Amino acid sequence: IKKWQARAREEAQKHSRHELKKAVQNTTPTDEEARALYELYAEHESDIREWCKNALAKAQGEDAPPVGLEDVMAEAYILTQRSLVRFEPEEAGLRTYLQHDLRGRIRDYLSSMSEERRERSETKQENRSAIAPGFDLAAVYSGLVDEGKVPAEAADLYNRLHPGDQ
């Protein structure tokens, strides 16, 4: 992969450090290089799978990204290519390098997915609560209760579900 790596590094020089994705996208490997990249990935697949599993396990909860292990593994192939652009065999072994660099990229990927999910959820919440600008649902409801237009059972249920609106 050295020829591909050299071309990708040259392309990376045109972009900032955080735009390495563009360098990889703009550097199409030859068939032989693609095969070598895949073989490297396959050689470390069990470690990569474990790193992906661990990252997903840590990302569980309310903010968990809406992806499964196979989705993360598919993205990990691309992230591995991005990691390999900067890999220097003289500095560390490939597994050690991937363990450090790729694990971080996987965490960043899941974090960005969680952030996107959170933003979409917040947008939905905002859209749901914005019936009309300046419309105060609690005040309108309270007025209807005061006027006797809301049955007592409905008022009790509303008060149990919205204790802060009383």
81-102 pLDDT, tens digit per residue, is: 888 888 888 988 999 999 988 8
- The pLDDT value recorded for residue 157 is 78
149 or 125: whose pLDDT is higher?
149
| CA nearest neighbour of 87 among 73, 77, 101, 69 | 101
Question: How far apart are the C-alpha atoms of 27 and 12, rounded to whole Å?
Answer: 9
- The pLDDT value recorded for residue 165 is 56
Dihedral sign for Cα 154, 157, 161, 163, please. Answer: positive
